[in-house]
Amino acid sequence: MAGIGRYVELLSRCGSDARTILRIQAALFTSGILRQSADLHNALIRALAGSARPHLALPLYCHLLRAGLLPTPHTFPSLLKSLALSPAVPGAPSLALAVHAHAVKFGLEGFLLVSNALIRVHAGLLGRLSDALMLLRTAASVDASTFNTLITAYARAGLVADARALFDEMPERNAVSWSAMVNGYVQAGDGREALGLFTQMQAKGVRPDDTVLVGVLAACAQLGVLEQGKWVHGYLKANDITITVFLGTALVDMYAKCGEMQLGLEVFKRMKEKNVLAWTTMIKGLAMHGRGSEALTLFSQMESLGVKPDDIAFIGALCACTHTGFVDKGRELFNSMVRKYGIKPKIEHYGCMVDLLARNGLLTEAREMVEKMPMKPDALIWGALMAGCRFHKNVELAEYVIKHWIELEPDKSGAYVLLGNIYAASGRHASAREIRHLMRKKGVDKTPGCSTVEIKGIIHQFIVGDLSHPCIEEILAKWDEIDSRIRLEEGYVPDKKEVLLDIEEEEKEDALSRHSEKLAIAFALINTSDDTPIRIVKNLRVCHDCHHVSKLISKVYGREIIVRDRTRFHLFKAGSCSCKDYW
């Protein structure tokens, strides 16, 4: 038996080295020792389940049974893990059910380790969340791991409310529980709930691990909440926590999406390890901020260091070309994907190219690319082409685009609003009114503009036309002051062309003054010091009037205004914008 113990110890030290594991297995087969011990079978199954060849664990289980040995509670967790890691193996789901039946047959399903493994395989490989929940409800014993498995599975399936119900039900939670729930909210796009839960976690005195902190940084990036993100960075420094490639990438993404590109660059430069995702995150961040030349230089640097770009990296590089108008470079990159790296362009790559061509006035070439694409254009492709039509006031092509776009999204307002804006900008006000009438007839509501601004760690939200903010009277008084100053000092005249309302001109001006980012900027001017940059996050593309007004405010009040809209960042400073009026 001493020999068996030596082999078990050897196997425990093999890590993911499948070749060594298989050599030990061959020696055990040859010597005949393997037929004498269920523990040796378990050790081999466990080792293979953690190796690069997990599918080889199942034959060992069959050998155990043929040798007349009985499985133990330690047999099934590793065996089920091996099946979960081998989804491509023919019949893997059926085999998992057979293993479940064996666990019941040998009376081992009541052991905590086995019960948790069964829940994990039903929630993961089999995708049977209801069965996994039933197993949890009928388990002889449960622990935090039992709940964590199911919470993670529900969150990944987008069933965040069900995940939260299980989380609230847990008798005891550990860091993994909090992490699963925080990241579940992030994946569902609900950064507010994620940060609220993190605050509760801190109040409970639970020390956050790397996974939680990555989730919190992702929530900050979603919301554009810089102060909370800086707190996480400070926490890492204060506790001397090593910034792994995952934490570093999350920090870069957070700083980029919160408008602090320079801090993101500093983190990136200090990262000891950089994978293709880290490089891509930095490239996309620079592109969003209109720093296309730097983004493309970084892409070339990545290539020169031997980091092979993937399809996502090419999206970042193409976005850099789009935001800066580098048409020739965009064509070169698009062609090199296949020629140099063998990457087949996806619809996202075509979307970048259509956007690049259309925005630069090459509308015929952009249309030809859409018509020749190997896949059916989606709404984003038509939207990119329509944005070019708006920029260059091409009514004829816009009417062609909308016929295709509304087939894909008949109930969404984007296509109608853009066409209406194009009509209005071209002086076809009757046609613009017809679009508005058509939207009413079809019951299509325009997505309301929403802007958020963070003041002293608190997020304040403003929705276009909404006057429910407790400080609204003070905000409107401040806007009147702003309006007077920019008219008097800079000759501001409201741009009413894109106001799709059948109202009088004076009312159109009033509607423009209630745009969400204007309310947010007025509120920020009231509540921040003169040397503090104003950071706004908006859900839609910035309209022409708000873009112009933001430039004037930055000049008249001497304030930097950073606006993150649906597609990019705008840094307004001293009367100009980083996008160079190209958005």
Residues 523 and 471 in one domain: yes
CB 543 within 8 A of CB 514: no
Residues 374 and 391 in one domain: yes
CB 61 within 8 A of CB 41: yes
Helix axes 347-359, 311-324, angle to 10 degrees: 10
pLDDT tens digits, one per residue of 301-325: 999 999 999 999 999 999 999 988 8
Residues 434 and 457 in one domain: no
Which strand ranges, in their side-by-side order, compose the sheet holding 561-564?
Answer: 458-463, 450-455, 534-538, 561-564, 569-573, 576-577
Number of domains in the chain: 2
pLDDT tens digits, one per residue of 458-516: 889 999 888 888 999 999 999 999 999 999 999 999 876 665 544 444 445 667 778 99
Which residues of the chain are under the pLDDT cut of 50?
Answer: 1-2, 501-507
Q: What is the CA radius of gyration of the chain?
A: 29
Residues 457 and 519 in one domain: yes
Residues 437 and 463 in one domain: no
Closest CA to 385 of 407, 408, 362: 362
Whole-number Å distance between alpha carbons of 469 and 407: 38
CB 138 within 8 A of CB 132: no
Whole-number Å distance between alpha carbons of 103 and 70: 11
Residues 379 and 440 in one domain: yes
Burial of 503 (0-12, 13-18, 19+ CB in 10 A): exposed
CB 150 within 8 A of CB 183: no
The token pair at 471 is 């400080």
Q: Is residue 277 part of a domain?
A: no
Please identify, among 446, 479, 500, the residue that sits at the C-terminal boundary of a domain. 446
- In sequence order, what DSSP letters do the residues of 37-90 get, joined into one string? -HHHHHHHHHHHHTSS-GGGHHHHHHHHHHTT----TTHHHHHHHHHHT-TTST
The token pair at 345 is 């362009």
CA 514 to chain centre: 30
Please identify, among 446, 475, 501, the residue that sits at the C-terminal boundary of a domain. 446
Q: Is residue 506 part of a domain?
A: yes
Residues 373 and 470 in one domain: no
Whole-number Å distance between alpha carbons of 13 and 79: 19
CB 346 within 8 A of CB 376: no
CA 342 to chain centre: 26
Write down the pLDDT at residue 568. Answer: 86
Write down the pLDDT at residue 579. Answer: 83
In degrees and rounded to multiples of 5, residue 291 shows phi and psi of -100, 60
The token pair at 421 is 């804006």
Please identify, among 446, 470, 491, the residue that sits at the C-terminal boundary of a domain. 446
In degrees and rounded to multiples of 5, residue 379 shows phi and psi of -65, -35
Residues 529 and 411 in one domain: no
> What 3-state class would DSSP assign to 535?
strand
Q: Is residue 122 part of a domain?
A: no
Residues 553 and 570 in one domain: yes
Q: Is residue 136 part of a domain?
A: no
Whole-number Å distance between alpha carbons of 69 and 152: 35
Q: Is residue 406 part of a domain?
A: yes
Q: Is residue 12 part of a domain?
A: no
Instruction: Give the predicted TM-score (pTM) of the model.
Output: 0.83
Residues 496 and 567 in one domain: yes
Whole-number Å distance between alpha carbons of 575 and 583: 17
Residues 412 and 528 in one domain: no
Sorted by sequence, the CB contacts under 8 Å of residue 578 that are 6+ apart come out as: 289, 290, 569, 570, 571, 572
Write down the pLDDT at residue 497. Answer: 67
Q: Is residue 300 part of a domain?
A: no
The token pair at 128 is 């049977």
Return the number of other C-beta atoms located less than 10 Å from residue 53's C-beta.
16
Q: Is residue 529 part of a domain?
A: yes
Cα dihedral across residues 305, 310, 312, 315: positive or negative: positive
Residues 567 and 482 in one domain: yes
Which domain does 495 fall in, by range? 450-577
